[in-house]
Structure 1
């Protein structure tokens, strides 16, 4: 009897197609990104935590990157998929620069490109597990938009991903205005990040704030917020609660 394994037919499920790798579940993830328009451009904030499941494994993960001359990208979700998106964008910007025609992609074009990428990958049942924030300034026009892992996208004066969409957006709706100065914009973002730090278990007290204007992108050095943990609700969260838990 021949015990040699027979060759699999070309259309077998064990063929080369079975070797394709996909992010079936997010492993190392980042939490909220919050961004807003201010008087001179766009401000964006994100902490530097990378969670391995429910464990805060990494605490120096940069989740905001400049894209070309006019754009700034922030990402929540799977870090490896964010790196894949950055690779796509590197190729896009390189191809654009090769034309050498004096034009360059603006934030609106980059945002539209990202919506197509995310929606295309969703339709292949192979999504990139990220929520993205794309802001920028070109020819004096400020642009800020977001796109989810299934391609849902919109443009607004302030946006947030993850828990920030639930906890930071109400603060921004209440306090944001069109003529926000740089200093007031930073204070508003810090207020949002402080609330997220108190309420989001995946957040860490190490963040960066980035700005983009006509002059380009500046990303701050990492720093920590002053916090206060002696609120009675923090000391005894179950006090006054109804029920066994």
Structure 2
């Protein structure tokens, strides 16, 4: 074999003839990444009478490896809106830069008006649909939570296809299967939202985060949670820990972990 660094692994030219690289040439069209690599899992949100509660854990998984832990997937946009990201983390970072640019433009605007949550949701839906139409989608599913133009609670979803919808409770990823049935016990119809207090909404979201920690292999016990209200704006906590965990029982099982003779 040829042992020069620039040709490691290639047969020697003086023995086998010159290396033929013509097979590397292709006339195929340019392609884009069609598979997310580092991903975040569920985002949960629920309306209550004065605002929105939204939460997501702080884990970014490399396949099935719990690779990056201090990753907050809740991104405040302004005092009236916050976005929760599920899916590919690199696409989340791209969208975060896009939103930063939009935020700068808004702050320098002379109109005196700022985007509210409904505006932001419309903007993101157009971005996601445009990238889908280019066959180069952003592999994310997002929840946009906050206040609309009339300072009423607003909660809506947008995914990589540009599909959008609103509901009193929403969840992405595994949360759509495991947490939504629990959240719908609190509010299945929009008419039930005025009867939900902030404490009820926060407790329901925390209980769902615990269920996901036990049932979703791509989740963890540290999470971010935010409450959006007209009076308090976006109140974000990025390093909450689940309470009342019961995984500790494993340490009492014979054969678990290191043993002492």
Please classify the TM superposition score into its range, dividing by the shorter chain length: 0.7 to 0.9
2:234 corresponds to: 217
1:37 corresponds to: 47
Q: Which range moves more in the overlay, 212-221 or 77-86?
A: 212-221
Tell me, yes or no, if structure 1 residue 23 matches structure 2 residue 33.
yes
Q: CA deviation at 1:92?
A: 1.9
Q: CA deviation at 1:158?
A: 1.0
Tell me, yes or no, if structure 1 residue 228 matches structure 2 residue 246.
yes
C-alpha RMSD of the superposition: 2.3
Q: Is the 8 A contact 2:72 2:238 kept in 1?
A: no
Q: CA deviation at 1:96?
A: 2.5
**Match 1:109 to one of 94, 119, 140:** 119
Secondary structure of 2:138's match? coil
Q: Which whole-Å deviations, capped at 9, do the CAs of 1:206-232 have from their partners, x for residues lacking one?
A: 11211111231111141221222489x
Tell me, yes or no, if structure 1 residue 184 matches structure 2 residue 200.
yes
Q: Which range moves more in the overlay, 87-96 or 36-45?
A: 87-96
Q: Which whole-Å deviations, capped at 9, do the CAs of 1:152-178 have from their partners, x for residues lacking one?
A: 110111110000001111111112342
Tell me, yes or no, if structure 1 residue 199 matches structure 2 residue 199.
no
1:149 corresponds to: 160
CA distance in 1, matches of 2:245, 2:222: 12
**Match 1:170 to one of 181, 184, 191:** 181
Q: Which runs of 5+ in 2 are unaligned?
A: 1-17, 19-25, 254-261
The alignment covers a number of residue pairs equal to 219
Q: CA deviation at 1:13?
A: 5.3
Tell me, yes or no, if structure 1 residue 83 matches structure 2 residue 119.
no
What's the TM-score once normalised by structure 2's chain length?
0.78
CA distance in 2, matches of 1:54, 1:99: 44
1:238 corresponds to: none
CA distance in 2, matches of 1:89, 1:13: 36
- After TM superposition, where is structure 1 displaced by more than 3 Å over at least 4 residues in a row? none
What's the TM-score once normalised by structure 1's chain length?
0.83
Q: Which runs of 5+ in 1 are unaligned?
A: 4-11, 236-245
CA distance in 2, matches of 1:221, 1:106: 22
**Match 2:151 to one of 126, 140, 150:** 140
Secondary structure of 2:54's match? strand
Q: Which range moves more in the overlay, 170-179 or 127-136?
A: 170-179
Secondary structure of 1:112's match? helix
Q: Is the 8 A contact 1:69 1:104 kept in 2?
A: no
